[in-house]
């Protein structure tokens, strides 16, 4: 019985982390272009490092 | 043509642009590149300019319908980012939208369009705010959030429910019920909003919809569960209530995302139809202005290859005009000074100056659009299968629950346990599987269609298509490729083809281009020289390598002394140094799979017919080749509409396939309609489906998919109702525990989803 005192909060916390993660992916627009995402993986441009906003500016310097 | 990543579009084929808010957008046609950009064969060279400090980034949203794959994304994004001025370029493949942010001090919005054109893509800038999709974007996001919250709550509540079912009792059970309540109540309040609102509006309007029993079941479940928890009872329905919402939200999300995909396809088409025109001012200067600002009597300049924007009288120039989209005629006609040309036709061989005789609402094109709109209005409202079922289902469920409650009260049970049993009836009968049954099938189906290159503009079309029993095809551009092919090839020697091709390669006339294609197909090499001149509307003249005069063109130009073989324009003559002329006969060739498609439809028991605006002789020939008895030639748009309506009055459900503007009214009036991707804007607008592939067989495939998914939907509804037949008696008799409800609900939802996936197996056999 006493195990429940730990197990229940842990279960809820893990679930909440999952939910928070999902909400974050949603807010940051990761579901906006699902087809694009499945094609972008074939693009070799960002194999070295991920794309960041303003990348094109730095490349030009 | 389905061309992935097009790179060789002619630059004179540029789509005119519309004004975009907040930019110094001139609305000019892209004719001269800006001083900052230069084009070479190796790529874009950007001329250096001193970078001034940008105060703000300008943003432009462009619709690019022709993007399909990773290479398209790469080509567009990488090339835009090469631009010094561009800070951000991202292509959304789902929506086919490109967003660019850049420094306006360095490049204008026009430059961005030039770059896109240079890369080989047609784009149409649009005002983000003018699209209502932002609204539905938000709704979709909200649904997804609700789905996530419901999923989280359902899995956690289920954890405690399983413990309770496994035998937790006394204080542990009460404790678990309290935790379940703590998780489920806020989650229900948040995730259930969609259903509560919809049920509330329906009730206020005095109607019943599917959401009323859902909302009622959830609310009652919460009520009985809370009172059970308070009194330390054995059964709580928290898990059932939240799982129910989870499944229903999943169905709702699938349904909505499909509708949105359909809508953004339609939006793209609408925005592509905006145009501009080049006006000639009194001082002879040319200026590009919006169509809306053109007045009667204005002088308009139409360059080679442009679409004629207004109805007008030719006052200068001579050209061959392709009127196929308006009339269905496959061979262009020569226009002389004084004749009238109509908006929507394409100017092929010479530039023209027109005096505007009709604008906007008065043009022939506008007449067709009016017919189309009228046909659309009178099109009977179709009630979706799911809605028809819901209309019967919702009242039945309520009556059943009420009868159960009253029955148990009469039997002598007190109110609370009777209400508990009635609630379990509501929960068990809740249209959980029903809510998933239809959207699951439709999502799988629209995914398959997308892979086949077929755009579904409206989900209903897929349902309706399963009912059709007659198919009507347009000829030019639908059954045929819409471009002429040399048919008497066998009688013409390589030498003559070579001579003809070296002249023809200098002309944009479709017959000339057909000769060039033939020469290429035969693997002939031909040379051209600068002695060749084109006399618009007549033909070409030049010297061959031996210095002899060669003529290629119409009979009255090349050989006025002989009688033509044909009585219409699909014939060219070649004459070398006055020798006897050689006849070249052309015909609009059938799509390679036209015969196969027609046969398949016919074997499936559908009636097939042709409605064409082209000449009797041409249509008869095509109909013979396809063995179709039921054909009409010389149809005006009104005639086509009348024929379609006539068939429908006879009780036929007509599937119309057409591509020209002249088909638009018939497409709109038809029970279901389809256009090829090469069709004119307004016919794409009025069609329910658009196929991008070259293959006419898509029309048959989409019909098969529709039939099969209709079958699956019916099966799924049958499964959902059948499961109720078993579960409802158990619930009415009061034997349903939350455990039984959870098992029954999940299995039925899984079964309908798995059944929907059977459509994928069917895809392989197509």
Partner residue opposite B88 with nearest CB, options A1, A41, A53:
A53
Neighbours of A2 (CB within 10 A): 6
| B93-127 confidence digits (pLDDT tens) | 877 788 888 777 777 777 777 788 778 787 766 65
Residue B278 to residue B291: CA distance in whole angstroms: 9
pLDDT in tens, B349-362: 788 888 988 876 77
Q: Which residues of B touch A15 (CB under 8 A)?
A: 152, 155-156
From B61, B111, B255, B474, active-site residue: B474
Domains of chain B in start order, with CATH, are 11-131 (3.30.70.100), 135-261+385-442+708-765 (no CATH), 276-366 (2.70.150.10), 454-469+592-692 (3.40.50.1000), 482-589 (3.40.1110.10)
Residue B150: pLDDT band by 50, 70, 90 thresholds?
Answer: very high
> Which runs of consecutive H residues, i.e. helices, occur in A2-60?
3-27, 34-40, 55-60
> Strands of B340-341's sheet, edge to edge?
B286-290, B276-280, B299-302, B352-358, B311-316, B340-341
- Give the gyration radius of chain A's Cα atoms: 19
Mark residue A53 as left, alpha or beta (left: phi above 0; alpha: psi -120 to 50; beta: remaining): beta
Summarised one tens digit per residue, pLDDT across range B227-236 is 888 888 778 8
Report pLDDT digits (tens) over B248-261. 898 888 888 777 77
The pLDDT of residue B317: 84
CB B452 within 8 A of CB B693: yes
- Distance in angstroms (rounded) separating the CA atoms of residues B354 and B205: 56
SS3 for B315?
strand
CA separation for the pair B665, B372 (Å, rounded): 4
**Looking at the predicted structure, is the pLDDT value of residue A51 above 70?**
no
| pLDDT tens, residue by residue, B421-463 | 888 888 888 777 777 888 888 888 887 887 777 877 777 888 8
Of B70, B145, B179, the CB nearest to A8: B179
Starting from the edge strand earliest in sequence, which strands make up the sheet with B470-473, in order? B454-456, B689-691, B672-676, B654-657, B470-473, B607-611, B631-632
Exposure string (b/e) for B40-64, b if CB count within 10 Å is 16 or more?
eeeebebeeeeeeeeeeebbbbbbb
Q: What is the mean pLDDT of residues B312-334?
A: 79
Q: Quick one: pLDDT at residue B546? A: 80
Distance from CA of B47 to the nearest CA of A (A): 13
pLDDT score at B43: 36
Identify the pLDDT of residue B638. Answer: 86
Lowest-pLDDT range of B46-50, B344-348, B719-723: B46-50
SS3 B471: strand
pLDDT of residue B274: 44
Assigned token pair, B457? 């503009």
Q: Are B107 and B34 in contact (CB under 8 A)?
A: yes
Q: Is it the case that residue B51 has pLDDT exceeding 50?
A: no
Instruction: Give the CA diameter of chain B.
Output: 114
The residues, ordered by sequence, that sit 6+ positions from B548 with a Cβ below 8 Å of its Cβ are B576, B577
What average pLDDT does the segment B397-411 reach?
91
Nearest to B152 among A19, A32, A57 (CB): A19
Alpha-carbon distance values, B108 to B85, B104, B756 (Å): 10, 6, 50
Higher pLDDT, B752 or B678: B752
Tell me how long chain B is: 766
DSSP readout, B727-764? Answer: HHHHHHTT---HHHHHHHHHHHHHHHHHHHHHHHHHHH
Task: List, for residues B566-599, the tens digit of each pLDDT value.
Answer: 555 577 888 887 777 888 888 878 888 889 999 9
CA angle B728, B731, B733 (to 5 degrees): 110
Nearest residue in B to A54, CA atom: B87
Enumerate the β-bridge partners of residue B585.
B571
Query: What is the pLDDT confidence band of residue B190, given thresholds at 50, 70 and 90?
Result: very high
B145/A contact by beta carbon, under 8 A: yes
Mean pLDDT of chain B, nearest integer: 79
ipTM of the complex: 0.78
Q: Which two tokens stand for residue B317?
A: 């120039």
Percent of all residues in chain B with a pLDDT value above 90, rounded to a whole number: 11
What is residue A59's predicted lDDT score, i.e. its pLDDT? Answer: 40
**Whether residue B742 has pLDDT greater than 50:** yes
Residue, of B26 and B394, whose pLDDT is higher: B394
**Tokens 């080989």 belong to which residue?**
B120
Given CB atoms, is B226 within the 8 Å cutoff of chain A?
Answer: no
Give the whole-number percent of chain B exceeding pLDDT 70: 84
Cβ within 8 Å, pair B87-A23: no
Q: What is the DSSP letter of B278?
A: E
Beta strands in B7-122 (DSSP E): 37-39, 44-46, 57-63, 86-92, 97-103
Other CB atoms within 10 A of residue B607 CB: 16
Average pLDDT over residues B71-90: 82
Which pLDDT tens digit goes with each residue over B707-724?
998 899 889 888 888 888
């Amino acid at each position: 019985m006493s195990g429940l005192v730990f197990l229940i909060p842990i279960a809820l916390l893990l679930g909440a982390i999952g939910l928070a993660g999902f909400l974050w992916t949603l807010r940051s627009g990761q579901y906006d272009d699902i087809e694009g995402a499945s094609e972008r993986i074939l693009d070799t441009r960002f194999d070295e490092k991920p794309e960041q906003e303003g990348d094109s500016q730095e490349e030009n310097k | 043509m389905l061309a992935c990543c097009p790179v060789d579009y002619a630059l004179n084929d540029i789509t005119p642009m519309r004004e975009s808010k907040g930019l110094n957008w001139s609305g000019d046609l892209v004719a001269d590149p800006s001083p900052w950009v230069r084009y070479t064969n190796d790529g874009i060279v950007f001329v250096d300019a001193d970078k001034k400090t940008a105060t703000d980034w300008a943003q432009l949203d462009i619709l690019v319908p022709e993007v399909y794959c990773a290479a398209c994304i790469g080509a567009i994004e990488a090339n835009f980012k090469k631009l010094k001025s561009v800070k951000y370029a991202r292509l959304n493949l789902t929506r086919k939208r490109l967003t660019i942010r850049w420094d306006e001090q360095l490049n204008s919005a026009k430059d961005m369009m030039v770059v896109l054109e240079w890369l080989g893509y047609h784009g149409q800038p649009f005002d983000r705010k003018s699209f209502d999709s932002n609204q539905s974007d938000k709704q979709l996001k909200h649904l997804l959030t609700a789905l996530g919250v419901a999923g989280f709550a359902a899995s956690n509540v289920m954890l405690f429910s399983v413990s309770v079912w496994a035998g937790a009792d006394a204080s542990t059970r009460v404790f678990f019920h309290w935790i379940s309540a703590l998780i489920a109540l806020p989650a229900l309040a948040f995730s259930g909003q969609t259903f509560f609102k919809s049920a509330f509006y329906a009730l206020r309007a005095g109607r019943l919809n599917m959401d009323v029993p859902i909302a009622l079941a959830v609310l009652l479940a919460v009520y009985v569960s809370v009172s059970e928890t308070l009194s330390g009872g054995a059964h709580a329905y928290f898990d059932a209530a939240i799982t129910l919402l989870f499944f229903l939200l999943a169905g709702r999300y699938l349904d909505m995302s499909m509708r949105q995909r359909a809508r953004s396809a339609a939006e793209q088409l609408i925005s592509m139809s905006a145009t501009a025109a080049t006006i000639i001012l009194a001082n002879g200067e040319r200026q590009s202005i919006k169509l809306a600002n053109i007045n009667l009597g204005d002088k308009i300049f139409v360059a080679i290859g442009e679409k004629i924007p207004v109805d007008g009288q030719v006052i200068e120039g001579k050209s061959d005009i392709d009127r196929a989209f308006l009339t269905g005629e496959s061979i262009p006609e020569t226009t002389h000074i004084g004749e009238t040309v109509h908006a929507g036709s394409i100017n092929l061989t010479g530039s023209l100056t027109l005096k505007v005789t009709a604008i906007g609402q008065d043009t022939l094109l506008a007449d067709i659009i009016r017919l189309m709109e009228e046909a659309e209005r009178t099109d009977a409202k179709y009630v979706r299968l799911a809605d028809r079922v819901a209309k019967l289902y919702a009242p039945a469920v309520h009556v059943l629950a009420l009868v159960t409650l009253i029955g148990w009260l009469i039997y002598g049970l007190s109110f609370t346990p009777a209400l508990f049993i009635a609630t379990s009836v509501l929960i068990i009968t809740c249209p959980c599987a029903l809510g998933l049954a239809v959207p699951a099938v439709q999502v799988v189906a629209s995914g398959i269609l997308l892979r086949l290159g077929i755009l579904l503009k409206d989900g209903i079309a897929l349902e309706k298509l399963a009912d059709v029993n007659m198919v009507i095809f347009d000829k030019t551009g639908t059954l045929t490729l819409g471009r002429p092919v040399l048919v008497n090839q066998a009688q013409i020697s390589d030498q003559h083809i070579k001579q003809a091709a070296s002249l023809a390669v200098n002309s944009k006339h479709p017959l000339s281009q057909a000769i060039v294609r033939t020469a290429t197909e035969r693997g002939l090499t031909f040379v051209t020289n600068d002695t060749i001149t084109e006399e618009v509307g007549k033909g070409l003249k030049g010297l061959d390598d031996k210095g002899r005069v060669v003529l290629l063109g119409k009979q009255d130009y090349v050989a006025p002394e002989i009688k033509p073989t044909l009585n219409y324009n699909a014939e060219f003559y070649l004459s070398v140094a006055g020798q006897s002329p050689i006849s070249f006969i052309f015909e609009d060739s059938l799509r390679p799979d036209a015969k196969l498609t027609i046969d398949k439809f016919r074997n499936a028991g559908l009636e097939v017919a042709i409605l064409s605006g082209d000449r009797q002789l041409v249509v008869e020939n095509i109909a013979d080749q396809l063995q179709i008895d039921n054909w009409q030639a010389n149809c005006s748009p009104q005639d086509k509409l009348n024929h379609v309506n006539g068939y429908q009055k006879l009780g036929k459900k007509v599937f119309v396939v057409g591509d020209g503007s002249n088909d638009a009214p018939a497409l709109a009036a038809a029970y279901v309609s389809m256009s090829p991707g090469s069709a004119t804007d307004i016919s794409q607008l009025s069609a329910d489906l658009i196929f991008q592939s070259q293959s006419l067989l898509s029309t048959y495939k989409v019909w098969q998919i529709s039939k099969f998914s209709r079958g699956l939907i019916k099966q799924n509804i049958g499964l959902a109702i059948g499961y109720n037949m078993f579960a409802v008696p158990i619930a009415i008799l009061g034997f349903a525990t939350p455990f039984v409800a959870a098992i029954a609900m999940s299995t039925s939802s899984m079964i309908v989803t798995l059944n929907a996936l059977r459509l994928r197996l069917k895809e392989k056999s197509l």
